[in-house]
Amino acid sequence: VLDYGVKKNIVRCLTDRGCYVKVFPHNTEASEILAWNPDGIMLSNGPGNPTAMPQEIETVKELAKGDTPMFGICLGHQILALSQGLSTFKMHNGHRGINHPVKNLVSGLGEITSQNHGFAVTKEDVDSNDLIELTHQHLNDGTVAGIKRTDKPVFSVQFHPEASPGPHDSRYLFDQFIELINQHKK
């Protein structure tokens, strides 16, 4: 886990699924993380403007060059997007609280989510990048709520699947991450 302000429940959601978790400080170099030989990399949530974190963006860009499964949440989602050449913008009104409706564009199902962010990924950049697929969309304002790489086991969401208390509609994302890890290990 790259710690940008990680919530304890993210670590709990991983350990509940049998993961041995090592938490790295936000400014850890990619080489140090890769030397640990992780089966998967979690990019945690956290506060603030993702463009103010150029070292972290470069680290994630370097990590994403490999084939290690990667899962980003909230700020981790934004940092992943920036590392892939997408842009972010400051929202007029951020998304705060529970009961935010999101559509999973892969399954077609709606999810009730918990959100807490003031920045979002620019949808036009997602639409114009052949290596990025929009996977989740906020139903109130159409903002990007999830993306994945089309050529690598890398994905991220803007909302909080680990929310506790909060809706658990999106906990399957941790299972999806573990499945990517298991496939990669084979």
DSSP label of 51: G
The burial class, CB within 10 Å (0-12 / 13-18 / 19+), for 105 is: middle
- Tens of pLDDT, residues 123-171: 999 999 999 999 999 999 999 999 999 999 999 999 999 988 777 889 9
> Quick one: pLDDT at residue 8?
95
The pLDDT tens digits for 85-113 are 999 999 999 999 989 999 999 999 999 99
Query: Which member of 26, 56, 136, 162 is catalytic?
Result: 162
* Longest CA span, the chain: 45
Tell me the DSSP string of 53-106. Answer: -HHHHHHHHHHTTS---EEEETHHHHHHHHHTT--EEEEEEEEEEEEEEEEETT
* Catalytic member of 74, 77, 95, 138: 74
Is 162 labeled as catalytic in the residue annotation?
A: yes
Predicted structure pTM score: 0.95
Q: Is residue 160 annotated as part of the catalytic site, yes or no?
A: yes
Q: Is 19 a catalytic residue?
A: no
Could you identify the residue written with the tokens 């941790």? 174
